[in-house]
Structure 1
Amino acid sequence: MDIGVLLPTGTAQWGETDDPRELIGFGRRAERLGFSSLFVNDSLISPRVEALTMLAALAPTTDAVTLGTAALLPFLRRPVQAAQSLASIDLLSGGRLTVTVGAGFPGRFGQPLYTLSEVPWARRFTRLDETVALWRALWDGADRFHGRILRLDDIPPMTRPFRTGGPPVWLGGATRSALARTGRMYDGWMPYPPDPADYASGVAAIRSAGADAGRAAEDITCALFVSVRIDDDGDDGAERGRRAMDAYAQATYGMPLEQLEKIQAVVTGSAAQVRERLGQYAAAGARHIVTRLGALGLRSQRDQLERVAELIPALRAETEGSRAS
C-alpha cells in the first residue's frame, strides 16, 4: 500500500500570510513522515501554482517519493510540448514521475477550459487517448505519429525520459468507457468514488478489460483520490471536522460538503474512523491512496499531514494482512 498526499497548490487553500514557497518544505516533510508520493492537480479556472512547475521544483528537493499529477489535463498544453516537459521532470527526478490524466467534465470545470485552450470539446476522449499514445511514441524516439486527430510528421529529436518508455500514465475517469480504456491501455486508475463498493466494481471491470487485452492484473495500478480530515474523538470533534471540510469544499469548489460527498470520496472523523473507511477502499482493491487534506491554510494543512501520517503503518499492515489471507 502506498499512501500519498496532494499538495495544496491552489490559492484557495492558503492563508493570507502563507508563502507558497513553503510548499517545497511541505513536500519534504511529507517524505520524511513516510508518505510514498506527492501529487498536484491541474486547472486554469482557479489560481494555483502550475502543476508541472511544482513537480519540477520538487524533483531535486526530494529523494524517493513518487511525483504525480491528479489529474493533468493534457488539452491545456500542446501535446509535443507536454511530452517534452514530462520527460524532463522524469529525467530530473530519476524516474519518479507518474502522470494521471483526465479529459475534464461538463460544466465550469471542463468546457470553459477547452474554449480557453482553443481545443474542441467534441471527441475529447479520443484526443486524450491519442495524446497519451503520442507521448509514448515520442518517449520511444518516434519522429512521426498518425492518429485520427493528431497527425505529426518530421518530429525532431526530443528529451528522452529517465525510464525506457517513459513514466506510467494513469486515467482518472470512472465511466464504463473509461474503465474499459484503462484496462486496455493505461498503467493505472485513479478515481474518487464515494462508495467503496463502486470502487470494487470498477477494479473488477478494469481487470476484465485488461485480461481481454492480454494484460496481467499487476500491470495496472489501482489508486484512489480521497479528501481526508481527521479530528478528535467525540461529537464535538466530528462536528468541527465536518464544518472544516465544508469550509474547504466551499473554498475549493464553491459547493457545500453535502453536495461534494455525493460525487467524490470524502472521509472525516476520528483517526480510527478514517482508518476504517480507507481500509474499506483498500479491501476493495486500492493499492495507492492519494489523500487530499481537508484544511485551509498551510499551518492547518501541516497539522492534518501529521495526523494522516500516523495512520500509514496501520493501513500498510492491514493491506499486507489482507493479501496474506
Structure 2
Amino acid sequence: MAAMDIGVLLPTGTAQWGAADPRELIAFGQYAERLGFSSLFVNDSLISPRIEALTMLAALAPVTEAVTLGTAALMPFLRRPIQAAQSLGSIDLLSGGRLTVTVGAGFPGRFGRPLYALSELPWAGRFGRLDETVALWRALWDGAEAFHGEILRFDDIPPATRPLRAGGPPVWLGGATPAALARTGRLYDGWLPYPPDPADYASGLRDVHQAAADAGRAAEDITPALFVTVRIDDGGERGRQALDDYARATYGMPLEELEKIQAVVTGSANQVVEALGRYAAAGARHIVARLGALDLHSQRDQLERIADLIPAVQGASELKGEHRARCPRQS
C-alpha cells in the first residue's frame, strides 16, 4: 500500500500571518517541502482578506520541486470558467505537472449566497454549474473548440493553454452531503471532506466507492483525502485555548462549535498521531493539515512539530491498512 501523503494548508489569510511580510509565505512553502511534507494547499475566499489562491500557487510553482500544489477548496463560481481553465493549465505547466484542484460550490451562510451575489450568479443550480465548469475545463484541456452543457455553452473557443498532463490536473471535490458523495464517485478524481468523526469518513468513503462502481469506475481512481485542523500542544487546556482563539479569528465561532462541523485534532504528539490514525483506519490516504495558529512564527512552530510526526503517521496508516487486509469488513 502506498504511504500516506501528509500536506499542509499554507496560512494565506491575514488572520494567520498577521503582521508578517506576506512574501514570507513563499519561504514557508519551501521550508515545508524541505521538512518532508508532500503537498502545499491553499484556500479560496472573498470573505476574509487573503492572498488569492491561484496567485499563491503560481508563485510557488517555480520555487518548489516535488510537492503537489493544491487548492482546498477552489470556488470556481468566483471566476470566469474559461479564464480559470487557462490559469490552472498555466500553473500545471509552471509546476511541471504538480497541480491538484479541489473544488467546491460554497455552502449556506457567509461562504455561500453573499459570494454568489458578488459573482452575479444564481445560488440555485450551483452544483450543476460546478460540475459543468469542471467538465468544461477538462474539455478545454483536451483541445475542445466548443462546449454545450445545460448551463455553460460556448462556440468557437480559441486554443486553450494545455496542462502538462494529458487530460489536465486531477480534480477533487470537497463536501460530504449524500449528493456530494455520489457526484465524487461519478465524476471526480478525489474526495477532500472534513468530517469531525472518523466513522462518518468511513461511511462516506464507502458511499463514494459505491457510486464509482455504479458508474463503472474503480475505487482506486479516487484519492481519499482529509482536511483537518491540527495543533500539537502538551499544555492541554492551553492548546485548546489557542485553538479557540484560532476558531474565533478564522470563523467567528468558538472551538466547541467548530468541532461539531469540521475535523479538529489537538493534544500531545502521541494523541495527534492516534487521532490521525483513526482517519487512516477509516480510509484517508492524503491528509491536508491546517495549522491551528495565528501568527507566522507560531505557524512555523506547528509546521515543525507536525513534520516530526510524519513517519509515525505514515507508519500508523500502513499498520491500519494491513489490519484491514487481514480483517475485511463484514457485509
Structures share a fold, TM > 0.5? Answer: yes
Q: Measure, in 1, the Cα distance between the counterparts of 2:75 and 2:220.
A: 26
**Cα distance, 1:318 vs. partner?**
1.7
Q: CA deviation at 1:159?
A: 0.6
AA paired with 1:74? P
Alignment partner of 1:10 is 2:8: no
Q: 1:227 maps to what in 2? A: 229
Give the letter aligned to residue 24 of structure 2.
Answer: E
* 1:14 Cα offset (Å): 1.9
Matched letter for residue 272 of structure 1: N
1:323 deviates by 2.6
SS at match of 1:310: helix
Describe how 1:170-249 pairs up with structure 2 within 5 A. 170-232=172-234, 237-249=235-247
Structure 1 length-normalised TM: 0.98
Q: Could you give the per-residue CA deviations for residues 218-271 of structure 1, whole angstroms, max 9, x where no partner exists?
A: 100000000000012xxxx01111000000001101111011010000011000
292, 296, 299: which is aligned to 1:298? 296
Shift of 1:321: 2.4
Aligned-partner Cα distance in 2 for 1:255–1:322: 34
User: 2:99 is matched by which residue type in structure 1?
Assistant: L
Asked if structure 1 preserves the Cα contact closer than 8 Å seen for 2:194 and 2:262, the reply is yes
SS of residue matched to 1:261: helix
Residue identity opposite 1:23 in structure 2: L
State the TM-score, normalizing by the size of structure 2.
0.96
Aligned mates of 2:302, 2:17 — CA distance in 1: 14
In structure 2, C-alpha distance between the alignment counterparts of 1:215 and 1:149, rounded to whole Å: 26
Letter in 1 for 2:238: R
Q: Secondary structure at the residue paired with 2:64?
A: coil
Structure 2: distance between partners of 1:30 and 1:14: 15
Q: Is the 8 A contact 2:6 2:37 kept in 1?
A: yes
- For 2:144 and 2:92, the matched residues in 1 are separated by 18
Distance in 2 between the 1:15 and 1:102 partners?
Answer: 27
Q: Distance in 2 between matches of 1:197 and 1:319?
A: 16
The 2-side partners of 1:285 and 1:311 are apart by 19
Matches within 5 A, 1:115-194: 115-194=117-196
Tell me the SS of whatever aligns to 2:100: strand
* RMSD over equivalenced CA pairs, Å: 0.7
Tell me the equivalent position of 2:279.
281
- C-alpha distance in structure 1 between counterparts of 2:247 and 2:49, whole Å: 16
Q: Size of the alignment, in residue pairs?
A: 320
SS at match of 1:311: helix
Distance apart, 1:322 and its partner CA: 2.7
* Distance in 2 separating the partners of 1:194 and 1:320: 22
Structure-2 separation of matches of 1:173 and 1:83: 22
Give the distance between the partners of 2:142 and 2:17, measured in 1 at CA.
Answer: 40
Q: Is the aligned partner of 1:75 residue 2:77?
A: yes
Could you list the structure 1 runs, at least 4 aligned residues long, displaced by more than 3 angstroms after superposition: none
Letter aligned with residue 13 of structure 1: Q
Partner of 1:309: 307
How far 1:324 sits from its partner (Å)?
A: 3.2
Identify which of 76, 94, 97 aligns with 1:95.
97
Of 265, 268, 271, the match for 1:270: 268
Q: State how far apart, in whole Å, the 1-side matches of 2:115 and 2:164 are.
A: 31
Spell out, residue by residue over 1:129-176, the C-alpha distance to the aligned partner (whole angstroms, 9 max, x if none): 000000000000000000010010000001100100000000001100
In structure 2, the gaps of 5 or more residues are: 324-331
Q: Which amino acid aligns with 1:324?
A: E
1 CA distance for matches of 2:166 and 2:137?
Answer: 12
Show CA shifts across 1:9-51 (max 9, x none). 00011232x1110001100110011101000000001000000
Question: 1:85 maps to which residue?
Answer: 87
Matches of 1:316 and 1:267, distance apart in 2 = 16
State how far apart, in whole Å, the 2-side matches of 1:173 and 1:264 are: 11
Distance (Å, rounded) in 1 between the aligned partners of 2:34 and 2:177: 36
